[in-house]
Structures are given as structure tokens and as C-alpha cells.
Structure 1
Amino acid sequence: MGFFDGLLGGRAADFDSGSAATNSIELIRRHQQVSLTKQDAATGHLRINLTWRMRSSDIGGEQRTSLFRHPFKALRPPEVLGHGQSMVNVDLDLGCLYELADGTKGVVQPLGGYLGDVNAPPYVKLSGDDRFGSGSGETIYVNLDHRDDIKRLLIFVYIYDQTPAFDRTHAIVTLYPSNGPRIEIGLDERHPQARSCAVVMIENVKGELVVRREVKFVYGFQGELDRLYGWGLQWGRGYKTKSAVE
């Protein structure tokens, strides 16, 4: 197993809630920000979901067979690469750096079992660890009924086992407020050597909850994102184990 930045210790737990909205807002370079407060969506549980799949050009892209050199092989049906053959080598994880109004800082992530708490500080909860890009993906819940206790949240995605693969995957982070349209941020830029991406910042600006697109790829892990945004945490090497929450 490979290693990457992580805080030591932590406990695992489960939480599940939230519902999908019927329409969506896509945050892009030309439209990077939206106010949850102005959309009357700054209460209840905000559900943040990461889903991803292999890019179609990487599934079976190298399996074309020459009709002239191998006439019988060319008649065989193409081999379909499933989770066990292709996606198992790419493990995207969802995390959140948080800073509360009282100055408390920390991280919610699968590594180390730092899954957070939705009804107590930091009011951020990770549902578990999806290692294979399943349909449900990974989900973080934020209790916006405690929005006055939250200063800023940085939602990020990183790649486990030191295998750069953002150029091989198509990932989407979707925010589902308790009211109004969902908010989508696509990670479509090809950064083949990047291992982490700061996706979106949720910030309390004078009582207004603002969601801002970041989509900043870095070559390191959480420690580099920390330095980029000035969180000031201390990081060490961490591992995933077979007992990780899935």
C-alpha cells in the first residue's frame, strides 16, 4: 500500500441523509460563485457527493485489432474493462479542510478515520470510503443549521496510493442543498501528474454562505493544499488498511 499525507488516529461512524434537487447550477470559470444564503439554501444538511468513472478513451482504447494481421481476433467481441481490471487502480477520495468561527481547524477524510460529526463540531461528516468509483460515490454532509459556527470549508479530492490519474478519470463534485438547485463542479482538466485538487470553498462572509469554485490541482497531497490555503495543520504519512470504512 502506498502512503500520502494524513493526520494520525480517528474513529469511524456512519451517517446518511439528504435528497437530490431537480435542477442544477454548474460552476465554471466564467461563473465561479453562488450564494446559498441568497437562494434560501443555507439551512439543513448540505450533501456533497463525489462520483467518478474512467474516461471512455481509457476503457478498451488500446484493444483495436488489425483485420489483416489477425483476421479471427478481429471478429471477437471487444473486451469490457470492469472495476476489477481498470478502476481498481484508481482510488479517488473526498475530503474537507475546515475552520470554525472559534479558530478550530482540522480535516475530515477517510484516512485515519477522521469522519467528523454532523451534530457536533466540526458539523461536517463523511459517510465512508468508496474505493472503486461506485454509483453512489463518496458523500460529505454539512449541518448548515450551525452555519454561524463555520468560517470556511475547503472540499478537496485526492488520489490514493500515489497513482496520478486525474487525466484518466472523469470526476464530478455535486452539492445538494436542502432547498434549491444542486451545484456541480466538474474536474475535466487533464493534469496527469497531479495527486490532489482543491475543488470548492464554502465560506461564511459576513453571515452569507458563499460557494466558490476553486479547481486547483497540485502535485502533492493534503499538506500542499494546506500550505496553498494557509490552514496551518501538521501532517504526517498515513496508510489505508483493510479495516477502512467502505
Structure 2
Amino acid sequence: MNPVATWRRLLAEFVGTALLVTAVVGSGIMATTLSPNDVGLQLLENSVATAFALGALILTFGPISGAHFNPVVSAADWFLGRRTGTGMSAAHLGGYAIAQTLGAIAGSILANLMFDLAAVDFSGKDRAAGHLWLGEVVATTGLILLIFALARSGRSAVAPAAVGAYIGGAYWFTSSTSFANPAVTIGRAFTDTFAGIAPASVPGFIGAQIIGLIIGAGLLLALYPGVGQSADEVVVHHDTTDATAPPARL
């Protein structure tokens, strides 16, 4: 179990998720300002900034809270670890989800204010369509597989680069541009900018993300039967007293 005090872990999840959404929304606003007539370039600028920021944030907050920044990652950590007594408790899962969601909303508001926009301006960008929901299923499934496969095989140290690279790539190979995160989805409803999503479209995205969580967890149990034993090492290994990298486990 993570020995760090609960309030510190929740604060890390709140601040980390807030800064992640600030990066997503802020870079989207900047992209539309710098490249107003080129949507492809806007997406490139938005995805690169998000990938780099996510990697840096995992490095910053990983040793404190695990740097989940995502309720589906926390839910998978609880589900996969509960049979082996590892991972987080149900109470901590609830606390993480609340902190992540509040952080995401705060991050969206912060980005709006930095660019001299209304603090809260609900998005009008409709993203309710079956092919977008499928994109979210694929993005979330891949994210869960990546994170827990790294932990189980003793490669959590590369999670900052690997997770950042995956999200940056998934911006381009999924139809939904890879939200893959219920908290971030809710937060992005609070900005009517490039990265926004209409509040009415949020439930469909979250439903697809939950399906991705279920599929990802099922695949992990099939591919890595002992994956639950490594739930305490998601996303970044918490035991900072041992500098020796754990051996690969399958």
C-alpha cells in the first residue's frame, strides 16, 4: 500500500489533474490563435503539448499518489488489486475520483482565465456519435493495458514517457482524439474552446470509457494473470527507499 498520507495523495491528484486539463485546454486555445486556418496543425500543437505535459506531471506527482489523474485508472487499480490485497481501497477510489474531477474542472477554469476568457463557458461542441464512442473505447482500453502491463513487468519507471507517448499518438489514431478519462471529459465541458465537449455529450463519452475499462481489465487478466500483485506500482512505483529496479514479472 502507498504509505503517503491520504490528504497528500488527494492533493496531488487534484493539482496534477488540474494542470493536465490546463495543458489540454490552454494548448488548444493557443493552437487556434497561432494556426487559425489549419485544424490539422492545431491538433498537432494540442497533442504534442498534452503528451509532454502529461509525462512531466507523472514524474512530478507519481511518487506521491501514483499520478493516476484518471478515475478509470484508479478503478482498474482497485479492481485488479482487491483479490491480492494490493492497490487502493474503495474509500480511496472514491476520494481519488472526486479529487480528479474537481481538479479537472479547476484546470479548465484556470486555462480560460489565463487566456482572458470567461471562467466558465460551457462548450457547444457536440461529440455525440457512435464512431466517437468507439474511439473512446479503443483509447481507454489501450491506456489501461499499457499502464498495468508496465507495472506488472517491472517497467513503471518508463511510465511517464510511455503514457505521454500513447496519449499523444491516440490523439491521432482515434476518432474521438482520445479523452480516455471521465474526469478530464467533465472538465473539458467547462470551456467553449478547441478542446471542449458539450455537456450533453459527456455521458456518452464516460459510458464508452467505462466499457474500455472493462475490456482493458479483462484483457489484462488474460494476458497477465498476476497483474493484481503489482497494483501498488501504478503509475509510478511508490517505494522510494529502494533504488533497485524490480525484476520483470509476467
| TM-score of the aligned structures, taking structure 1 as reference length | 0.26
The structure with the largest strand share of the pair is 1
The structure with the largest helix share of the pair is 2
